[in-house]
């Protein structure tokens, strides 16, 4: 910081630091609000709009006051005021999120009050710094001064964007990232205050201690959902492993993604994972399924069971390397003959020379679906990597009927254009947002529900799918939904009707868990200060 200060005057240094922190907070905002509101396009749209609005208002009022009020001391106070608010976020973000979530707003706007409350004030204060600095800089001429300030602020934003995205988020917890951003403001304020302004220097030390105390606030490690075994922020998502009795659950961005019975690690805890075995009944000969690929790993529930149950080789491709590490360290995936590949599922299929008998797509979330894994072109690629009688299982989160079923029905229509046969299996009897399993095969012969019942009784595939077969859905209407294509896959629009609705996950043993993206607590309910560094 001191080397940079030698090349910039003090006002310009403040501009650079404000650019770094404002962009860092904007990226961090998505990670903070995702466990409560999800990470849909509506959440990110709210984040971007609020930051732009807060900066614009700060620029406006800062410009009006700059001629009369711009001083080095005011720059210090603006920096410290923003740092104090960052300290408040570290301690009270969860409570503020919960309070904002209680407001009766349409689902797509639900995250907006929270983003305004958490990030509007510090961003507004940071907006004052550029016009104040333009007034204080020793550059000659309004054009040169303003151009210099704009350039430095933009360069700072670039540093903040790259630094937060590629360095801080993969390495630190949310609370420590917030601390790093707050510390940047405090150090900058200290450089501006020292040695001429002793009062400002003392204020800087007080705020520094406040920031340290906020970050050091006790890590509770327990929630209403159970014991927090491990928690981190990966490059892709918020991840938590929570134990509740004999059940260990993997939370990704606040939603239950996988669960394991610690005393029986291959037992299906979630009802929908049993449907992954349906191709063993749809196949003419279940022994023909020798090679299986899972796209999306989670806690490796399906891969572990398949490796233990069948004489088949099992591959998993998972884009998040931390998910793979956690599956091995906390969900005993390393004890089974499963080969894990880190990478994008579509890229893996495009580059692999392997042929599979079954591909299980388990990479969709309720509010964040990688559209490149949903399109007709992707399904054609998957078909090309299948054996002549191979099939695909797609785990889709949707409602079976009504407006919230649009994504499921569009995916059904898309798969139906590529595969001769597509079967649909909702996993609950009610019309709530749930896991709907789509099974597509390259075989031209259709298998009826009655035939599935007969095969389930006659074949020993290691699991009884009698209840799953009764969920067999026929005549799925697709006349009002589009075929998903690479050049037009409106996945976010199709997911829109599900925003704010309960997502119900059936557990084996008739235990049901329901989550609500706008009313649920964070993934573990602990404050930011309690998050464990990655």
Q: Where are the alpha helices (DSSP H) in 109-215?
A: 112-127, 129-136, 142-163, 169-171, 174-193, 198-215
Q: Give burial (CB, 10 Å; 0-12/13-18/19+) of 321.
A: middle
**Given this model, what pLDDT does residue 517 score?**
41
The answer to whether the CB of 133 falls within 8 A of the CB of 75 is yes
Spans of the chain below 70 pLDDT: 1-8, 138-141, 218-225, 367, 509-534
Helix/strand number for the chain, H first, E second: 19, 14
**Given this model, what pLDDT does residue 35 score?**
76
Give per-residue pLDDT as tens, 37-79. Answer: 877 788 899 999 999 999 999 999 999 998 888 899 999 999 9
- Closest Cα partner for 363 from 348, 353, 355, 373? 373
d(Cα 240, Cα 250) in Å, to the nearest integer?
6
d(Cα 278, Cα 471) in Å, to the nearest integer?
12
Give per-residue pLDDT as tens, 351-398. Answer: 999 999 999 999 987 767 899 999 999 999 999 999 999 999 999 999
Q: Give burial (CB, 10 Å; 0-12/13-18/19+) of 102.
A: exposed
Angle ∠(483,485,489) on CA atoms, nearest 5: 85
d(Cα 484, Cα 92) in Å, to the nearest integer?
42
CA trace torsion 390, 394, 395, 401 (10° rounding): -120
Please list, residue by residue across 103-126, b when 16 or more beta carbons sit within 10 angstroms of its beta carbon and e when fewer do.
Answer: eeeebbebbbbbbbbbbbbbbbbb
The answer to whether the CB of 333 falls within 8 A of the CB of 340 is yes
DSSP 33-98: HHHHH-S-HHHHHHHHHHHHHHHHHHHHHHHHHHHHH--HHHHHHHHHHHHHHHHHHHHHHHHHHH
Q: Output DSSP code: residue 106.
A: -
**Given this model, what pLDDT does residue 138 score?**
63
Tokens of 209: 């201690």
**Given this model, what pLDDT does residue 63 score?**
93
């Amino acid at each position: 910081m001191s080397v940079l200060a030698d090349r910039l005057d003090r006002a310009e240094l403040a501009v650079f630091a404000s650019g770094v922190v404002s962009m860092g907070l904007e990226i961090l905002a998505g990670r903070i609000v995702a466990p409560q509101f999800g990470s849909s396009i509506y959440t990110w749209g709210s984040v971007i709009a609020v930051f732009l609005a807060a900066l614009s208002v700060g620029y406006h009022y800062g410009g009006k006051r700059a001629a009369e009020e711009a001083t080095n001391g005011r720059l210090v106070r603006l920096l410290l005021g923003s740092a104090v608010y960052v300290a408040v976020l570290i301690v009270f973000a969860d409570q503020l999120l919960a309070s904002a979530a209680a407001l009766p707003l349409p689902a797509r706007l639900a995250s907006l009050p929270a983003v305004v409350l958490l990030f509007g004030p510090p961003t507004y204060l940071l907006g004052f710094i550029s016009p104040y600095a333009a007034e204080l800089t020793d550059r000659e001429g309004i054009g040169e001064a303003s151009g210099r300030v704009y350039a430095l602020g933009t360069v700072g934003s670039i540093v903040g964007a790259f630094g937060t995205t590629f360095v801080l988020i993969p390495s630190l917890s949310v609370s420590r990232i917030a601390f790093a951003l707050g510390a940047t403001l405090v150090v900058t304020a200290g450089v501006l205050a020292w040695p001429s302004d002793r009062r400002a220097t003392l204020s800087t030390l007080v705020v520094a201690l406040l920031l340290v105390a906020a970050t050091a606030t006790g890590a509770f490690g327990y929630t209403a959902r159970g014991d927090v075994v491990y928690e981190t922020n990966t490059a892709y998502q918020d991840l938590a492993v929570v134990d509740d009795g004999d059940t260990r659950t993997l939370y990704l961005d606040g939603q239950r993604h996988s669960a394991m019975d610690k005393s029986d690690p291959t037992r299906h805890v979630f009802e929908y994972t049993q449907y992954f075995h349906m191709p063993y009944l749809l196949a003419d000969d279940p022994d023909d399924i020798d090679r299986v690929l899972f796209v999306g790993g989670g806690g490796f529930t399906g891969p572990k069971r398949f490796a233990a149950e069948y004489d088949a080789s099992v591959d998993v491709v998972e884009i998040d390397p931390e998910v793979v590490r956690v599956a091995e360290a906390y969900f005993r995936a390393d004890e089974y003959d499963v080969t894990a590949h880190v990478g994008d599922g579509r890229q893996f299929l495009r580059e692999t020379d392997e042929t599979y008998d079954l591909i299980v797509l388990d990479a969709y979330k309720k509010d964040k679906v990688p559209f490149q894994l949903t399109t007709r072109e992707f399904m054609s690629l998957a078909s090309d990597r299948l054996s002549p009688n191979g099939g695909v299982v797609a785990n889709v989160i949707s409602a079976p009927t009504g407006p919230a079923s649009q994504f499921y029905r569009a995916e059904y229509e898309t798969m139906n254009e590529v595969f001769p046969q597509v079967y649909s299996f909702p996993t609950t009897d009610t019309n709530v947002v749930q896991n709907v399993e789509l099974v597509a095969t390259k075989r031209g012969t259709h298998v009826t529900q009655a035939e599935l019942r007969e095969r389930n009784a006659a074949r020993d595939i290691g699991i009884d799918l009698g209840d799953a077969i009764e969920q067999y859905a026929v005549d799925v209407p697709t006349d009002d939904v589009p075929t998903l294509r690479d050049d037009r896959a409106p996945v976010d629009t199709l997911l829109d009707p599900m925003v704010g609705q309960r997502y119900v996950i059936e557990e084996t043993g008739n235990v049901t868990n329901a989550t609500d993206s706008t009313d649920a607590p964070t993934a573990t309910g602990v404050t930011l200060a309690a998050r464990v560094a990655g």
